């Protein structure tokens, strides 16, 4: 559980495709790519803006892991660009994100 706690509290940059203009990005979609390993759709995130590769739009927003999980469509997974380029990236499939999404929903 500590890994998930860290994930939901970490601030990530995420590449977006804006549907609006102006100083603040409020209307956007996530830049999605198909993971070559499982051929499923993912979004790329990183704690460091310069680690984002495959920048389709040149725009990125910063959100917490918890916010990201809530904003993502259920079919999307996440690939985290790790701080050390030698270590590559870490993928979180959509089924694990769904489990995390369910576990951080407010009880009520």
**39-95: pLDDT as tens digits:** 899 998 999 888 776 555 568 889 999 999 999 999 999 988 876 666 667 889 999
Selection from 85, 99, 17, 100 nearest residue 53 by Cα: 85
Model confidence at 13, in pLDDT bands (50, 70, 90)? very high
CA angle 84, 85, 91 (to 5 degrees): 85
Per-residue DSSP letter, 98 = H
Give CA separation, 90 vs 20, 42, 43, 85, 105, in Å.
31, 11, 12, 12, 24
Average pLDDT over residues 91-108: 82
pTM for the whole structure:
0.79
């Amino acid at each position: 559980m500590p890994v998930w706690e860290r994930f939901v509290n970490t601030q990530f940059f995420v590449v977006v495709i804006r549907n609006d203009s102006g100083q603040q990005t409020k209307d956007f979609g996530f830049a999605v790519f198909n993971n070559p390993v499982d051929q499923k759709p993912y979004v790329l995130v990183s704690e460091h803006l310069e680690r984002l590769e495959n920048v389709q739009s040149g725009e990125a927003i910063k959100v917490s892991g918890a916010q990201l999980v809530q904003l993502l469509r259920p079919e999307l997974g996440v690939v985290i660009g790790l701080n050390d380029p030698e270590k590559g990236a870490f993928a979180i499939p959509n089924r694990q994100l769904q489990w995390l999404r369910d576990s951080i929903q407010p009880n009520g």
